[in-house]
Amino acid sequence: METEYDDFRASVRSLAADKIAPYAADVDEKERFPEEAWAALRAADLPGLPYDEKLGGSGADLLSQVIAVEEVAAACGSSALVLLVNWAGTSTVVSHGSDELKSLIVPKVASGSAGAAWCMTEPTVGSDLSGIRTSATRQGGDWVLNGQKRFISNAPWAEWYAVLARSGENDFGVFMVHRDDTGVSFGPHEKKMGMRGSPTADVILDDCRIPAVRVVADPMQGYQYINGELNVSRALIAAQALGIAQGAFNAAVAYTSEREQFGQPLARFQMLRGMVADLAVKVSSARALLYEAVALIVAGDPRARARISMAKLLCSDNAMAVTTDAVQLYGGYGFTREYPVERMMRDVKITQIYEGTNQIQRLVIAKDVYARQVRS
Ligand SMILES: Cc1cc2nc3c(=O)[nH]c(=O)nc-3n(C[C@H](O)[C@H](O)[C@H](O)COP(=O)(O)OP(=O)(O)OC[C@H]3O[C@@H](n4cnc5c(N)ncnc54)[C@H](O)[C@@H]3O)c2cc1C
């Protein structure tokens, strides 16, 4: 079925094939920032997709953002992560920030000349964000931040950091910290299993003083603001997983069509055809659920929260299975770095963990099921 999004998908796919995929293995091998991909994404104005035109963006809808992330991730998971984390890092400013804060931060991020990060996780706190220890204390007209944020994507490449910090006994705010603010430093780059082109490091705040204008709206409502952005950020992570799955699937179909054993292409063996059929179902069903969840988010439907948890769960679990079977379909070559499926299998693992682990998604889904006492 053709849709109005087909041309857009085709243009991002072609950009990813020409300007991102050729560098993906090198980015992974050297654990380096995907410079070529970022230049290509900037040249195509993709960093500005979600932002209002007044702020230098193109005002694209959520499905367009999802499609862009899918297509970039099919070529290079790390490049997709850099892109979508920029969007997540600015999301609370866009939704709740003052006009002054928006114009300070968003236009540069929209143009791709600045990066953004969002900083919630801490050394002792991941799934249970209510336990965060980073503190924000009012001092005169300023706020002073102290604490340590762990596993922060885009650190220290980013310029702006949306930091969730404790502003009262049981209250939290979102504070926009600049890389050059006094008291900001970064830990060493994490050495990771996958997504090795996406820089990940601690963000350390040691008496970091920022002016009150850098607080996102109400300093006691940050938890609610972050919570409100989770539907979109989970949709983007689901899209990333789905894109990687699609990339591995495409590669496996091409490989099994060419490689011969016992005098015929692998694709003729019924056992492998069954595997490939199962992978096709995993990719298509994950995409269908994600797009349904995206439609609910856009419509402001209260069912969106549980549905996006289902989509994040299904997209990432299916993507893990698809990439693992893609390695199997390549045989021994799949286990080498000569072919992309090995990288894709490593990259995709994290999609089951970040933006709420899949155990946490199950908690959200089960809570909704019992609250509604309905089957879907
Ligand atoms: C590459 C990478 C990039 C990241 N990027 C960012 C980022 O940009 N910003 C950011 O803030 N964070 C980021 N993170 C952190 C990520 O979101 C957390 O690692 C994740 O939320 C899990 O938290 P944790 O690691 O502390 O695990 P824990 O919360 O300690 O969980 C450990 C295990 O216990 C399970 N578990 C926990 N609670 C429950 C429960 N109630 N019921 C059942 N099981 C449970 C979990 O599912 C998991 O299996 C990133 C992490 C990585 C590795």
The DSSP secondary structure of 240-299, one letter per residue, reads HHHHHHHHHHHHHHHHHHH-EETTEEGGG-HHHHHHHHHHHHHHHHHHHHHHHHHHHHHH
Cβ 345 under 6 angstroms from ligand 1: no
Q: Are 8 and 28 in contact (CB under 8 A)?
A: no
- Whether the pLDDT of residue 350 is over 60: the answer is yes
One-letter amino acid of 324: T
The structural domains of the chain, ordered by start, are: 6-111 (1.10.540.10), 116-220 (2.40.110.10), 223-372 (1.20.140.10)
pLDDT at 3: 77
Report residue 225: phi and psi, to 5°: -65, -50
| Per-residue burial over 152-171, b = 16 or more CB atoms within 10 Å of its CB, e = otherwise | bbbbbbbbbbbbbbbbeeee
Identify the band that residue 363 occupies on the pLDDT scale cut at 50, 70 and 90.
very high
199 pocket-lining for ligand 1 (C-beta < 6 Å)? no
Evaluate: CB of 23 within 6 angstroms of ligand 1: no
Q: Could you check whether the bond before residue 156 is cis, i.e. omega within 30 degrees of 0?
A: yes
What's the N-to-C CA distance of the chain in angstroms?
A: 26
* pLDDT (average), residues 287-293: 98
User: Residues 143, 175: contact at Cβ < 8 Å?
Assistant: yes
Interior angle at CA 217, CA 211 and CA 222, nearest 5: 100
Other CB atoms within 10 A of residue 41 CB: 27
> In this structure, are residues 60 and 7 in contact, taking their beta carbons and an 8 Å threshold?
no
Q: Which of 84, 124, 151 to mutate to test the pocket of ligand 1 (most atoms within 8 A of CB)?
A: 151
Confidence of residue 224 (pLDDT cuts 50, 70, 90): very high
User: What's the pLDDT score for residue 30?
Assistant: 98
Mean pLDDT of 134-138: 98
**b/e 228-237 (16+ beta carbons within 10 angstroms → b):** ebbbbbbbbb
Q: Please indicate whether residue 291, judged by its CB atom, sits closer than 6 Å to ligand 1.
A: no
With 60 as the cut, is the pLDDT of residue 376 above it? no
Mean pLDDT of 48-71: 98
pLDDT at 374: 61
Atom of ligand 1 nearest to the CA of 363: 42
Neighbours of 102 (CB within 10 A): 18
Ligand 1 center to residue 89 CA distance, Å?
Answer: 17
Strand-pairing partners, residue 227, are none
Report which residue type is found at 91.
S
358 C-beta neighbours (distance < 10 Å), count: 17
Q: Which residues face 118 on adjacent strands?
A: 162
Query: Which ligand 1 atom is nearest residue 88's CA?
Result: 8
Active site residues: 355
Percentage above 70 pLDDT, the chain: 99
